[in-house]
């Protein structure tokens, strides 16, 4: 028996989570395990009713679970960023989910926009650091003569540009990226471990040729960690070059590890070369704590309740959840069933089919249950 938390969230989130649960329960039937689901009412409706985003009580309760199955966050009634920061990022930081894991895999039967590439060419994993870099929230924005602590910005502008902020700059904004040796070490170690399980190649992505302090530390940690993995081939790549090579030669990659901001960017590119956001799952992982698995697309509120949302990314995220809790055969069976559903044309409108959200989920669940 596995105790798993679920958060449907906003928009299409509850619908796609329902289909994901359906498939994971079917996997449990076939592979002899049960899931005890506990649903949490966290999202836009509760926020509008109570003003609560993620409370201390929520955190205390969610901490009891090894995994969270998450739908989507975002609602047009609430300004952008409020729910995303107050719930999604708050969960990631509260549970120190320092690994963002994104499989970039072209499933059988899915078309990629890359000419001449097939499923044999697109099969790699991006490991994105998830709690540091420019996402730590150190920064500010202020106008001329505004009373605030200008010490950091004043130093930057005086040294770099010879400007006196108070007299020369009408408005200034700054954001500081932070990488710690320990933060880099743990996510890079995780990536090396994944590479050892796969094709034994690891690519480190950064921008150390320009941002040499912050990403120079990243490279130092990568090089030191690599010494403990002599069987894994390694390489460095600048982020701008990687965006080109993802498109030209995706087959060259096995596992990619990258700081937070660059990982945020290149994984969306990865999602498109694997067929689109509707096919892209993600995991926010703390190997020793509570992890969270979700589709990476948004809440699509205009499609809420219409039964047309594509549940595949959510179901695939469920496969990642099963893999994380140790049910690896079940995890593989879920992906196999997704591929059969695609081959058989039982897919939603965005993939050229006519199936509803529920019909697609039910079909995949039956394929899992019957071992097809």
Digit-coded pLDDT (tens) for 336-359: 999 999 999 999 999 999 999 999
pLDDT digits (tens, 9 = 90+) for 61-79: 999 999 999 999 999 999 9
Residue 99 has pLDDT above 70, yes or no: yes
CA distance 4 to 179: 32
Question: Is 104 a member of any domain?
Answer: no
Q: Give the residue from 339, 353, 319, 290 showing the smallest Cα distance to 26.
A: 319
Residues 116 and 243 in one domain: yes
CA dist 39 → 4, 14, 35, 85, 125 (Å): 9, 10, 12, 21, 30
Residue 168: its pLDDT value, please? 56
Q: Is 135 a catalytic site residue?
A: yes
Q: Would you say the pTM of this structure is higher than 0.85? A: yes
Total domains present in the chain: 3
Residue 173: its pLDDT value, please? 77
Residue 301 has pLDDT above 80, yes or no: yes
Q: Which of 94-98, 139-143, 157-161 has the lowest mean pLDDT?
A: 157-161
Is the distance from CB of 303 to CB of 356 less than 8 angstroms? no
Indicate which residue of 135, 215, 229, 363 is catalytic.
135
Residues 320 and 370 in one domain: yes
Residues 231 and 119 in one domain: yes
Residue 174 confidence class, pLDDT cut points 50, 70, 90: confident
Decide which of 294 and 168 is more confident.
294
Residues 213 and 344 in one domain: no
Q: Give the residue from 347, 203, 324 showing the smallest Cα distance to 275.
A: 347
pLDDT digits (tens, 9 = 90+) for 111-120: 999 999 999 9
Indicate which residue of 66, 85, 201, 207 is catalytic.
207
Residue 264 has pLDDT above 60, yes or no: yes
Domain enclosing residue 153, as ranges: 139-170
Indicate which residue of 64, 168, 240, 372 is catalytic.
240
Indicate which residue of 96, 121, 264, 344 is catalytic.
264
CA dist 149 → 28, 161, 175 (Å): 56, 19, 14
| Sign of the C-alpha dihedral computed for residues 235, 239, 243 and 248 taken in this order | negative
Residues 284 and 331 in one domain: yes
For residue 45, what are the contacts with CB-CB under 8 A and spacing of at least 6? 10
Residue 254 has pLDDT above 80, yes or no: yes
Residue 162: its pLDDT value, please? 54
Determine the average pLDDT of the residues in 103-126.
95
Q: Is 207 a catalytic site residue?
A: yes
Residues 119 and 146 in one domain: no
Determine the average pLDDT of the residues in 24-42.
98
Indicate which residue of 45, 268, 370, 372 is catalytic.
268
Residues 232 and 123 in one domain: yes
Residue 265 has pLDDT above 60, yes or no: yes
């Amino acid at each position: 028996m596995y105790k798993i938390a679920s958060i449907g969230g906003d928009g299409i989130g509850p619908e796609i989570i329902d289909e994901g649960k359906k498939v994971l329960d079917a996997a449990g039937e076939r592979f002899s395990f049960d899931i005890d689901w506990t649903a949490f009412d966290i999202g836009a409706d509760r926020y509008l009713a109570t003003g609560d985003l993620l409370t201390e009580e929520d955190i205390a309760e969610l901490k009891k679970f090894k995994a969270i199955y998450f739908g989507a966050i975002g609602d047009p009634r609430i300004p952008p960023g409020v729910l995303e920061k107050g719930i999604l990022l708050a969960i990631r930081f509260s549970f120190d989910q320092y690994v963002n894991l994104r499989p970039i895999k072209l499933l059988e039967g899915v078309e990629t926009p890359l000419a001449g590439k097939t499923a044999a060419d697109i099969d790699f994993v991006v490991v994105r650091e998830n709690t540091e870099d420019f996402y730590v929230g150190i920064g500010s924005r202020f106008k001329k003569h505004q009373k605030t602590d200008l010490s950091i910005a004043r130093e930057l502008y005086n040294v770099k540009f010879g400007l006196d902020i108070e007299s020369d700059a009408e408005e200034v904004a700054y954001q500081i990226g932070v990488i710690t040796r320990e933060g880099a070490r743990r996510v890079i170690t995780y990536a090396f471990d994944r590479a050892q399980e796969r094709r034994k190649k690891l690519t480190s992505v950064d921008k150390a040729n320009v941002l040499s302090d912050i990403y120079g530390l990243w490279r130092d940690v990568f090089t030191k960690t690599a010494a403990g993995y002599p069987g894994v081939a390694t390489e460095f790549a600048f982020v701008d070059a990687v965006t080109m090579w993802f498109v030209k030669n995706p087959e060259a990659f096995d596992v990619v590890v990258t700081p937070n901001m660059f990982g945020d960017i290149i994984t969306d590119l990865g999602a498109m070369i694997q067929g689109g956001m509707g096919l892209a799952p993600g995991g926010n992982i703390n190997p020793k704590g509570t992890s969270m698995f979700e589709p990476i697309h948004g809440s699509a509120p205009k499609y809420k309740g219409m039964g047309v949302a594509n549940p595949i990314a959510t179901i695939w995220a469920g496969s990642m959840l099963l893999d994380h809790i140790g049910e690896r055969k079940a995890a593989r069976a879920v992906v196999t069933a997704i591929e059969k559903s695609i081959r058989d044309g039982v897919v939603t409108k965005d993939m050229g089919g006519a199936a509803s959200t529920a019909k697609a989920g039910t079909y995949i669940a039956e394929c899992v249950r019957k071992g097809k």
